[in-house]
A and B are shown apart, each in its own frame.
Chain A
Amino acid sequence: MDIFLQQIINGLTTGSVYAIVALGYTMVYGVIQLINFAHGEVVMIGAMVAFTVIMAIVGAGAPLPPIVIVLAGVLAAIPVCMTVGFLLERVAYRPLRHAPRLAPLITAIGMSIILQQLALLIWGRDPRAFPQIMENTSFSLGGAAISSVQIAIILMSIALMAVLTWFVYRTKFGIAMRATAENVSVAGLMGIDANRVIAGTFIIAAGLAAVAGVMYGTYYGIAHYTMGFILGLKAFSAAVLGGIGNLAGAMLGGILLGLVEALGTGYISEFTDLCKWPVVGAEGMLMERCAADGHVVLFGSNYQDVFAFLVLIMVLVFRPSGLLGERVSERA
């Protein structure tokens, strides 16, 4: 098996999910300069709602094709997530619109915890296995394998990105979103109601989150009330990598982060295999163990989650404005 190509395929899959979630962070940041830390929880709620609906349909024994069942899950998750996103803005963030920036940020973290605890109450503590109703056919591709679920996730993400780009650049509401992001008070002079634009932005971001939640749950076959936390942080890192506030940046950052993570995970055990490196001072002890086991791995693939944060730290140190971002403005 070609590890490199395989990890590229895996990275593109998770990366496209990160990209869709990162778009939510970046859109909201673009219009109100808020990091909506509860966004990851909206993704989780999407996965949980879809899971519940899919299980109910499967449990009822309805003779539907699997794709229809999954679609039903997605279609149920989208309005629920949109409502959550709308309420988040209306109840938690809008009253703090003109407060010092720390206030909405802390509120966002609070909302993240509240949503997690609500999910715990509703769906319980145990991870739920996402029903594997889809036949996951694998195709071989130049020495690697790509599954039908992976193909579906990548295609779905591309479609969502295309539709979102069209919406933001070609529709009146989309242009108003960009105008508001640039200058709220002048947008107001044009007759643009900032509250409507901001609410709309949260709703769109949450709709994307719903689909991302289902994709993520389907891919890993599991959904859990804490799943939004790490996923959210990774997508946030992706948004920062691309340049927060920049749509193309979120897409690029998501894909890149997925690739870095997959390749890092794929090669980390090889690179940290002490048997391959001359370790001064410990040759004797290592030689024995290497002879016995063949490998002395310092960091295994369980360090997967580290890469996103390494990327985040590197970006913040070397290029805080991100790959496609403009110089970070000092707008308060």
Chain B
Amino acid sequence: MASSSPEKGYALLEALNLEVHYGGIAAVKGVSFAVEEGELVCLIGANGAGKTSTLKALARMIPSSGEIHYRKERLDRQPSHLLIGKGMALVPEGRGIFARLTVAENLAMGAYHRNDKDGIAADLAHVYTLLPRLKERAEQVAGTLSGGEQQMLAIGRALMGRPQLLLLDEPSMGLAPLMVEKVFEVIRAVAAEGVTIFLVEQNARLALQTCSRGYVMESGRITLADTSDKLLADPRVRAAYLGE
């Protein structure tokens, strides 16, 4: 786990001993990890491992103990709505689009905290270039989009906040293989633009093929941390997550 410790440089995001409890039940049991600027890092694990709880804690949507550092600022006592202004966006599990709002309104909400009209217009044009389907459906109510389009909208909406760090919670969930491939193409494109990405996935193979390194989570604990190549070759990972 020490092989990719954050000491080398400033970590953009660093979690120390993060714990999440639901009532008396511990879902995340003291995990530590770091993501450095420009990285594409993934967190894989089986259903119920505590991945979503970890992301929700990072985004301050649920209470947690332990420390969260972002650009050397403590986030663990901040309210959720201030994070996007600091450059951190979460695309939640299940997409969380506003189904009754139009596609354009959803995107506008992504830029809610901003007031730079020109910058917003430029980012909107950029999102529409990256995700042309959204432009075609701009005036459509978001609830009428297909699952894949909704995932694209959720990502586009997060990009409208012009984040430096993008947290993605199972973007492949419930999508047909072809659509999963498209979504991951978008994720790679966003990463190529310099956005740091922390990707949570159950689809371990795809996630590790996309990211440069990864963490493996099991019942609330991080049990492995290494480069993607090493994890893909690790017999434990192969047995448990790659179906081999």
Within 8 A of B (CB), among A37-85: none
Q: Is the interface of A mostly helix, strand, loop or mixed?
A: helix
Interface assignment of A145: CB less than 8 Å from any CB of chain B: no
| Stretch from B16-24, B94-102, B180-188, B234-242 that touches the partner | B94-102
Tell me whether B61 and A189 are in contact (CB under 8 A). yes
B112 touches A182 (CB 8 A): no
Asked if B109 and A179 make an inter-chain contact with CB atoms under 8 angstroms apart, the answer reads: yes
Query: Given contacts A189-B80, A190-B84, A191-B84, are A182 and B100 in contact (CB under 8 A)?
Result: yes
CB pair B59 A186 closer than 8 Å: no
Q: Is the CB of B98 within 8 A of A194?
A: no
- Residues of chain B with a CB closer than 8 A to A331's CB: none
B114 CB to nearest A CB, Å: 8
Chain A residues with CB under 8 Å of B92's CB are 185-186, 189
Given contacts A190-B161, A191-B113, A193-B81, contact A179 B90 (CB under 8 A): no
Q: Is B48 an interface residue when CB atoms closer than 8 A count as contact?
A: no
CB distance from A67 to the nearest CB of B (A): 39
User: Bound complex: CA of A187 vs CA of B61, how far in Å?
Assistant: 11
Interface residues of B, CB < 8 Å — how many?
25
Is B85 interfacial (CB 8 A cutoff)? yes
Report yes or no: B61 in contact with A185, Cβ–Cβ below 8 A: yes
Query: Which A residues between 14 and 53 are near B, CB-CB below 8 angstroms?
Result: none
Q: Establish whether residues B112 and A176, one from each chain, have CB atoms under 8 Å apart when the complex forms.
A: yes
Given the contacts A182-B98, A186-B98, A191 and B105 also touching, CB distance less than 8 Å: no
Expressed in whole angstroms, the Cα–Cα distance for A185 and B105 within the complex equals: 17
Whole-angstrom distance between the alpha carbons of A179 and B142 in the complex?
A: 12
A187 to B100, CA, bound (A): 13
Given A182-B100, A183-B98: A188 touches B108 (CB 8 Å cut-off): no
Bound complex: CA of A183 vs CA of B110, how far in Å? 14
Q: Please judge, given known A-B contacts A175-B105, A185-B61, whether A190 and B100 are in contact too, CB under 8 Å.
A: no
A314 CB to closest chain B CB (Å) equals: 27
Chain B residues 46-62 with CB under 8 Å of chain A are 59, 61
The interface residues of chain A lying within 8 Å CB-to-CB of B157 are: 190
How far is A98 from B101 in the complex, measured between Cα atoms in Å?
Answer: 26
Q: Which residues of the partner chain A approach B112 to less than 8 Å between Cβ atoms?
A: 172, 176, 190-192
Pair B96/A183 contact, Cβ less than 8 Å: yes
A190 and B101 within 8 A (CB): no
* Residue in chain B with minimal CB distance to A185: B61
**Per-position contact with B for A90-110: 1 when CB-CB < 8 Å, else 0?**
000000000000000000000
> Roughly how many angstroms separate A194 CA and B60 CA in the complex, as a whole number?
14
Could you mark each residue 209-229 of chain B with 1 if its beta carbon is under 8 Å from any beta carbon of chain A, else 0?
Answer: 000000000000000000000
CA distance A187 to B109 in the complex (A): 8
Contacts of B84 in A (CB 8 A): 189-191
Other-chain residue from B61, B79, B99, B109 in contact with A190 (beta carbon distance below 8 A):
B109
| B89 interface residue per 8 A CB criterion | yes
Q: Is A295 an interface residue (CB 8 A)?
A: no
Kindly state the separation between the CA atoms of A186 and B157 in the bound complex, as whole angstroms.
Answer: 11
Known A-B contacts A187-B109, A189-B89, A192-B112; A178 and B100 likewise in contact (beta carbons under 8 Å): yes
Those of A192-245 within 8 Å (CB) of chain B: 192-194
CB neighbors of A among B91-140 (8 A): 92, 96, 98-101, 105, 108-110, 112-113
B residues adjacent to A (C-beta < 8 A): 59, 61, 79-85, 89-90, 92, 96, 98-101, 105, 108-110, 112-113, 157, 161
Told that A185-B96, A190-B84 touch, could you supply 15 new A-B pairs with CB distance under 8 A?
A: A172-B108, A175-B101, A179-B101, A182-B101, A183-B98, A185-B80, A186-B92, A187-B109, A189-B59, A189-B96, A190-B81, A190-B113, A191-B83, A191-B112, A193-B79
6 contacts across the A-B interface (CB closer than 8 A)? A175-B105, A179-B101, A188-B80, A188-B81, A189-B59, A189-B89
CB-CB nearest 9 A-B residue pairs: A191-B113, A186-B96, A188-B80, A191-B84, A188-B81, A190-B109, A190-B112, A193-B81, A191-B112
